[in-house]
Amino acid sequence: MDVRFMGSVASATVLAVALAACATTTPQSGASFFVTSKGGGKGADFGGLEGADKHCQALAAAAGLGDRTWRAYLSTQAAGSAPAVNAKDRIGTGPWRNAKGVVIATGVGELHGDNNLTKQTALTEKGTVVNGRGDTPNQHDVLTGTQPNGTAFPPGDDKTCGNWTKSGSEGSAIVGHIDRTGLPTSPIAEATSWNSSHASKGCSDAGLVSTGGAGLLYCFAAK
């Protein structure tokens, strides 16, 4: 066989492998949004916002995305002398892309308006789809503690599981639906809301599971 032909075949094979590798890794290396592939292990208790951010950062690092500053999309309610914190103010300015390179939203306004968040695009840091309504188990609830416009709830009724420090039966947290679907009897605005659908049943892992969740978070690259 012609040595030059063999060399051409070898070169083509190497090029094909390299292109395939780039197709697999390049989009993920630029990811700036993901849904956590797992909860923190203590229900809605992440040790506050700092602990939730660390959870996002740790999962991002494990997926090769640790070179960015990651923030959990969570609000906190005003308590004592501590002011409320709005989820929308914690996540940077965008645009945000998932692990496959698909744009979720170009900015904060679009994120809280006509965004591109669906079951197929709201991927984990690993690039996998999260179970939604109709899957077993259903895990479409994502913790947010946030109003539809990305701002915190006023003080009073607990909407954040004690500002993300509770893991028992007391308290509750507002969740969004990752797949933008809910019970047929639910108001359409709640069923399809990615960030403010309904309250959880308590703050424990068992309570979150009972309403269709797994203690998952939305994570955004703020820088």
pLDDT for 29 equals: 59
Q: Return the C-alpha torsion angle 139, 78, 149, 124, nearest 10.
A: -30
Its domain, for residue 62, covers 33-91+119-221
| Residue 111, in any domain of the structure | no
Q: Are 215 and 39 in contact (CB under 8 A)?
A: yes
Q: Are 150 and 174 in contact (CB under 8 A)?
A: no
| Residue 151, in any domain of the structure | yes
| Residue 13, in any domain of the structure | no
Q: How far is Cα 219 from Cα 160, in angstroms, rounded to an integer?
A: 17
- The residue whose two tokens read 């969570």 is 74
The 3-state secondary structure of 36-50 reads CCCCCCCCCCCCHHH
Q: What is the pLDDT of residues 156-210, one digit of tens each?
A: 999 999 999 999 999 999 999 999 998 776 677 778 999 999 999 999 999 999 9
Cα 45 from chain centre: 16
CA-closest candidate to residue 222, choices 44, 43, 45, 32: 32
Spans of the chain below 50 pLDDT? 1-27
Strand pairing report for 96-97 and 70-72: unpaired
Q: Are 106 and 115 in contact (CB under 8 A)?
A: no
Q: Most distant CA pair in the chain: distance in Å?
A: 82
Give the domain CATH number at 66: 3.10.100.10
Q: How far is Cα 118 from Cα 133, in angstroms, rounded to an integer?
A: 12
Length of the chain: 223
Q: Is 123 exposed, middle or buried (0-12, 13-18, 19+ CB in 10 A)?
A: buried
- The residue whose two tokens read 């969004």 is 176
Q: Number of structural domains, the chain? A: 1
Q: Residue 134, SS3?
A: coil
| Residue 112, in any domain of the structure | no
> What single letter denotes the amino acid at residue 25?
T
Residue partners of 107: CB distance under 8 A and separation at least 6 = 93, 94, 95
| Residue 74, in any domain of the structure | yes
| Residue 21, in any domain of the structure | no
| Residue 158, in any domain of the structure | yes
Strand pairing report for 96-97 and 103-105: antiparallel
Q: How many CA atoms lie within 13 A of 222 on its CB side?
A: 15
Q: Residue 157, SS3?
A: coil
| Residue 179, in any domain of the structure | yes
